[in-house]
Each structure stands twice: as structure tokens, then as C-alpha cells.
Amino acid sequence: MDNKNDFITHFSAVDEEDRQRSAEVEDGRVEPSFGDGSSTLYAKADSDSRVAPSFGEDKTREPSGVSDERINQSIDTQAGSSPLSDESNNASDREFIGNSQKDDNEDMKKDNKKEVPNKNNKKDNDSKGKGQKSIKKRFVLFSLKSFAAALAIIFILFIYFDSVILSRFGVDDKWVLPAVVYSRPLELYPDQKLSLKEMEYELELLKYRKVKNPRIPGEYAVNASASRIVLIRRPFDFPDLKEDKIALVIDFNLHRVASIKNADTREELGYVRMDPVLLDRINRIDPTEDRIFIQLGEVPPALITTLLEIEDRSFRTNCGVNFLAIGRAFVKNTLAGGVVEGGSTITQQLVKNYFLNSERSYIRKFKEIIMALIMNQRYTKDQILEAYMNEIYLGQNGKAGIYGFGLASYFYFGVPVSELTLDQMALLVGIIKGPSYYDPWRHPEKALERRDVVLSVLKKRNVITQTEYEQYSARPLGVIKRGSMNYSKTPAFMGVLKKEIASKKEFGPDFLSGNGIKIFTSLDPQSQKAAENAVEKELSAIERETGRKGLEAAMVVSSWRTAEVSAVVGSRTPQYAGFNRVLEGRRQVGSIIKPFVYLTAFHNGIHLGTMVNDVPISIRLSNGKLWQPKNDDKQTHGLIPTYVAMARSMNIPTVKIGMRVGLNNVRQTLMNVGLEDNRIPNYPSLFLGTIELTPFEVAQIYSSLATDGAYKDLTTLRTVVKDGKVVYERSNSRLETTIDPRDSYLTLYVMMQATKIGTGRRIGRLFPNVNIATKTGTTNDNRDSWTVGIDSDQVVATWVGFDDNKSTGLFGASGAMRVYGRFLTERGVNSLELNKPDGIKFVNFNQEGNIVSDECLIPNLNYLPARIDKIRYVKTDCAFSVGSEYTPVPFSPLSN
């Protein structure tokens, strides 16, 4: 029993103070405890005979012979609550209590066989009580310290996360914003070469919606019978001016713009421009993340309402965290055994997407809550909402994620966010829950169901009426063809653009890695479409006719008046982003080089009517070998006028003329039109085009030819804007002419003759009443087929061939010229009108190549332009006789 009592004593689970507070029993007695004041009740009788009460006894049992009243009196006396007026009674009471104490002690000895504790036991009990009090104090102190430490940790975490938020979110460049590339804006003016069909195509590229009655920007209507289009142009921030929306009425007359009117005021307009087409987005910092930044003011109120109703109804009033929603979601998800409801606010979603990740852990959730509370204190609700609408993930486009509503509206519907309809807004908001699961292309049924759920919520909450719900839910998803956003469609053009940007000292190689860049280019979507169609359709036709498969092509369309590139096709599959033949496909150019040989000849006194003898020629090269060029038809034709030799692209006469004027002079001419010295061969075969050039370089030298050498480099750039400021604007880059205008005039004149009587007759037959300067080129074994054409607006260089350099069996006229002809058919053509410069005069050449007097009226004269300063003699004897004597002309007929 002793061991048992010791065990119970040492393992008491209740401290002394607690025991005193709960010691009252049913009869009103106070349960004694170790070391408390109640032990004095027994000490009054006999201090030497005290015993320790047992925890094992029945605490409800009353001591024998002692009434409640007597005990209460004794307690009152002990506590000093009653006066000592009756000493006998007090003595009697004390004697009785003492006897009772003894009786109790004897009973406990019999029942429990306990020893009476001595004074040492009293001391032990006192120290045990003090030890228990000390433990409680230590526990309380530990609790207070732990609480203070927790507060300190939370405070430190708040400071840390606040600094993280400020360092990453409190900056101007919050997101990686790709450089945005735009086409040229379509400029409309009366008598412009533009058909109703082409205007419709432009509007389709811009993703304008065809309706019966246009009411908002981005809508148009067509009256085909009246050849009229009515549209509301979107507002657009052009580099030079921010223009508001405008309603337009455009009338057409066949392939021309007849008139332009303001639909509201009926005012005749002489000029207006459409918003440009979005071509591409260049992201060199993080190609996996793409977005179009939008300001909150650009977002329709209906989209904001829909978003808040579905994602966070308490957004405007919560503290960044909705603890009630978190608790409700926790209960529902626990009961469901999975995630059926989310409790995150818009602020928490922003924090998770912008600062954290999608890891499901309590640590991540704890960080999210703290940072959401900080965000709510640091920023306004509008700032948080704008950031959310730019940050939320809404889908995947190849390797690039679609972030924010600004890009998602284009990605799914091809329109800016300001033009979304309510059903489209409902789909975008619904997709937030699971962009992959509700992908409208992969899972259209799920996406439609999700959209209708969002619309149903709006109806239940009286955001829309029952009629509106039925109207919107009856609509199809209406998403555009996957991947048909307006950009990433012209990889060859983008390759030219990137190369040009990297080469300019104003930018440097890393410029495109910056943020907030808008690039306005010269690309003309109308020309681009025509070029792509021409390459695809005509190559297929050639392959069907010849049986040769795998032909490739490249085409560069540029404006020779501005030296701007209008269209680039680098492959028969225009969207192929691999080998760019326009920039990288160096091939021999063949007869494409010949006009520059003749230009050199005109500069050195040879006239168009000068006779050249087309007979075999042998030239000894520096290595001792003989070079004997031949004509393509393997025939010789005797004496022929120079312009005929050029128009028919005859090899032997070209070599003879080249040798006459000198190889170095021809090389200098090529340098004058933009080629570098080290690119130009220094041997006679140069006259026949053994030089290797890319299609882009061919287009470049012919643009120089058309402008008398004033333009050396073609450009794709017009204006570059960074952070709202214009950092580059193409000025008038016309340089001093490096070619005599008289020589270029004569050269282009003969190229126009080639379209009528020479290698360009295919184009002449297609457009019999139009002046077009053309030149074809064919290399050895028919490996390469080339054509260059110049009309009043554009220079078009075209190449057709095999990548492995095998024979095509095609000449320039039967290959590349067919592609060029198809382009002109699709795009349209304006007749080239040559302006005769000062110093040029049309004169008569007789059959011997001599210039005769204007008064001479004899048959078979060739009326041709000539440089006045190069005319040395004029034959005044008008008598016509074969072999008769005549006055010498600048050069006698060329011979062996």
C-alpha cells in the first residue's frame, strides 16, 4: 500500500490551485490538499499527531460523530470569523475535534495501514507543491515566449514577402511583353488600285465581323450590287497620331476605289487609313509566355462583371483573402474526397500565378495568403484586377502560353477584348477553371457546357435576363480556326525584318529582347497573299505539266519608289519557318545580270540601234583555257541591233559588248547598284550571270536600277516605338544617284521591249496594253529559273528551282515568269510610265546602225531613244541603198 500511495501522490495530474478551486463536495466540505491552509483544521488538535490524507479514501464520507454544524463552527472559529465569547464552548469544541481527529487516525491506521508522517514528510510535500507551481510558471512563460516568437516570425515573413512584392510587382515592366509587329496600314484614297474583293480580304485579316448593319468598331457590311462597303474603323494609336473610330462608306469601280465618305457627316474624304494587321510577336526573353497588355479602361464592364461573379464575388470588399470561402471549400472538398470548389480570391490567384506556382501544399497556401493580404494593402482593387486580367493563364499556342484576356480574345476569337460579345466573355471566364480541360478545339462539348454554366450563373444573379440567356446560350462557340491568329504567318518576311533590325546601329543585336516595343513594317497583306497564292498554285501547275516534283520557289515584292519590302515568300509552303531561300538561297542568276552589262555599254557610247555581230567568239582566260559562249538556241544570227540582242537575251552579243566596254566597268556598275566588291567575279563569265545572289539581292539591285541608284538597300522598317516613344522612323533614305538617269532610262526602255518582242512575251500576252519591264534568267543545265518584273509601283524578283541544284528543265520564261504572271493576275498591275530625262532624244537608226536625219523618210528605220551627248555623227544622205557609203556613227558594227 505504501508504494501504491507514493505512486498516486507523485503522478497527480491536478495542481494545487486547481484542486482548491474544485475541492467542494456535495456536503459542503473542502477537500484537503498538500500544503494548503486546510491542514490547520487538524493542527489545532494535535500538531504532532497529523496524518496525510489519502487520495484513495471516499471523499464524500463524513467523519464519525461530527455534524455539519460542528464542523462549520470549527472552521469559522479557525478562520477567525466568530467572536470568542464562550470559552468553555470553544474548549469543548477543540477537545471534541481533537478526539475526533484521533479516532480518524486510528481508523485510517486500521484500514490503510499507513504510518503517521513525521515532520520530514511535511517538508517533502511542501517542496512538491512548490515544484508543481514552478512547472506551471515555466509552461506559461514558455507559451508567452512561443507566442511572441511566432508573432516575430510572422512579422519577419510579412516584411520579407512585402519586399518580394515590391521588387517584382512594383516595377514598370511587370511582364515579358513580346515585340509586336504590324503591317503597313491600308491607305485609302480615290482611284487607288483596290477592288471590293481585296478590301473584303483586308477586313478579314483584321478580323472585322461581317454584319447587316454595322454598329460598333470592327463591323462591316457589303452591298455587292452597289460595289459598296460600309464599315466602322477601330480606333488605333498610330506612331504619329492616335485616331478615333470612324464610320466609312467606300464605293468601288471595278479594281479602283471610286470614293470615300464619312458615313456620319457624308463628307467626301481624300485620304483615310485602316488599322494595321498584327503580323507577329517576337519574344526572345521567355518564348513560353505570350500576352497582349491591356489597361483596365480597355476592358468592357460586362467582362469585369462576369469575371467577378464567377471567380470572386467579394473582391471589392474582401481583404485579399476570403477565409469563410476557404473554410467552406475545405469542408466541401473533404466531404467530396476531391476538389469540387475553390476558395481562392482573385488576389490569391494573382499571387499564385505571378509569384508562386501551382504546387499543392500548406506551405504554398500559407505564402499565398500572406502575400494576398500584403497585395491588398499595397495596391488598389483596380490595380489588382488589371494585373489579374493580364496574368491569368488561358490556354496554349504551341510552345507559348496564352496569358491574359488581351491575347486570349485574339487567340480564340480574333478580335480585341473591347469587341467581345457576352457569350464570348462567358467562355473566356469559364476557361479559367481549366484551360486544357475546356479547350474549345479539343473538347468543344465541354467548353460549350462550361460557357452555358457561366451564362446560367449570370441569369440566376440577375446580371442578364432570361431572354438574353436564351439568346447567348443558343450561339455556337464561334472560335476561329486554331492557330489562325493574324501573326506567325510570314516567317520569311520576319526573317528579313529581324536581320535588318540586328544590322542597324540604332538597335543592336539585343534590341528585340526589350519590353514594350511596337514595330510598324512595310508588309502589304494584299501583295503577300497574291505572292503566296502565285507560288503555291503555279508550282503545282508546272509540276503537273512536267512531271517534276519537289520544285521550290522564292519571291520578293518591293516598292521601287520607296525601297520598301511589300511581300516575301521563302517557300512554296509560305508558313514554313525553316530554310529562308529569300535570304539564304544563293544561286547563279544567269541572264538576270545582263541589263547591267548593257547599262554600262550605254554609258560608254553604245546606242540601242548600234549593230552587233552575232557570230561565234572565243576568249582566252587567264588560266590559258578558251571560253566559247553560245546562245541558248545554239544558233548565230549575224548583225542585229543592240536593243534586240538585249531584249532576246542573246549570249554572244552580250559577251562582245561586255568585252568592248571592259570587265572592270561592268563590275563598277554592279557596285553602284549596291553589290559589294568581293561578291563580284572578276572574269568574263560574269557577263552571263555566273555571279551568285539571293532573291533579296536581285530585288535590291533592280530597285536601284529603277531609281537611278538612289536606293541601295531595301527596308522592311517604317517606325519603331518603345515605351510609347518613337525610337526609329525611316526618313527619306534616297541617296545621291550612282547611275546616270539616261542610262537607266535606256535600260528600262529595252526591258519593256523585251516584254513585247523578247523573253518577256508571256507577260506581254497576259497584259497586252500595259507597260511592264521584264528580264528572265536561266543558268547552266536549266538549274535555276529567274524573272524580274517592274511596273509603275513594284519590283518583283522570282526564283524557281530545286534545293539540290538539279536541272528543272525550265527556262526563265517557262518557270519563274509563270509565277510572276500569276502574281500580277491576282494583285493587279499598273502600267510603267517612264519619264524621259533631259539628254534623251528619240532618233532614227537605219539598217546599218547609223543615226539618220529626222527629215529622212526611208523604210525600215528604228525609232529609238539615244543619249544626245553620245551622238557624234548623223547621216544626212537619205538615199537608201544597200552597201552604199554612209557617214560614220559613234561605233562601227562590232565584229570578231
Catalytic residues: 311, 591
Q: Which residues pair with 237 in a beta bridge?
A: 242
Q: What does the radius of gyration of the chain's CA atoms come to, in whole angstroms?
A: 49
- Reported residue count of the chain is 896
**Alpha-helix runs per DSSP H in 343-465:** 346-354, 362-378, 381-391, 404-413, 422-431, 444-460
- Which of the 8 DSSP states describes residue 118? -
> What sign for the dihedral angle of Cα 463, 466, 471, 476?
positive
Contacts of 885 (CB under 8 A, 6+ apart): none
Q: Report the DSSP pairing between strands 517-521 and 179-182.
A: parallel
Extended strands (E) in 263-311: 272-273, 278-282, 289-291
Distance, CA of 890 to CA of 207 (rounded, Å): 63
| Residue 570 grid coordinates | 521563302
Q: Which of 485, 395, 396, 497 is nearest to 179 (CA)?
A: 497
User: Comparing C-alpha atoms, which of 118, 111, 98 is closest to residue 61?
Assistant: 111
Q: Tell me how far apart the alpha carbons of residues 158 and 377 are, in angstroms, rounded to a whole number.
A: 12
In contact, 300 and 338? CB cutoff 8 Å: no
CA atoms in the 13 A half-sphere facing the CB of 11: 6
Q: Are 531 and 566 in contact (CB under 8 A)?
A: no
In one letter, which amino acid is 461?
R
**How far from 748 is each of 335, 566, 608, 852, CA to CA, in Å?**
85, 22, 12, 24
Largest CA distance in the chain: 184
828 — alpha (psi -120 to 50), left (phi > 0) or beta?
A: left
Q: List strands edge to edge, sheet with 289-291.
A: 289-291, 400-403, 393-397
* Grid coordinates of 296: 483596365
Sign of the torsion angle spanned by Cα atoms 543, 547, 549, 551: negative
Tell me how many degrees the CA angle 884-886-889 measures, rounded to the nearest 5.
145
CA–CA separation, 487 and 182 (whole Å)? 9
In the sheet with 278-282, reading across from the earlier edge strand, the strands are 278-282, 179-182, 517-521, 717-722, 725-729
| 826: β partners | none
DSSP sequence for 513-562: GSSSEEEEE---HHHHHHHHHHHHHHHHHHHHHH-----EEEEEEEETTT
Q: Residues 6 or more apart from 380 whose CB is under 8 A from it?
A: none
Closest-CA residue to 417 (of 384, 443, 394): 394
Instruction: State the Cα–Cα distance between residues 54 and 109, nearest whole angstrom.
Output: 11
Contact in structure between 531 and 737 (CB atoms under 8 Å): no
Q: Is the separation of the CB atoms in 28 and 60 below 8 Å?
A: no
Sign of CA dihedral 107, 109, 110, 112: positive
Residue 347 backbone phi and psi in degrees, to 5: -65, -45
Q: What three-state secondary structure class fits 61?
A: coil
CB half-sphere exposure, 162, CA atoms < 13 A:
12
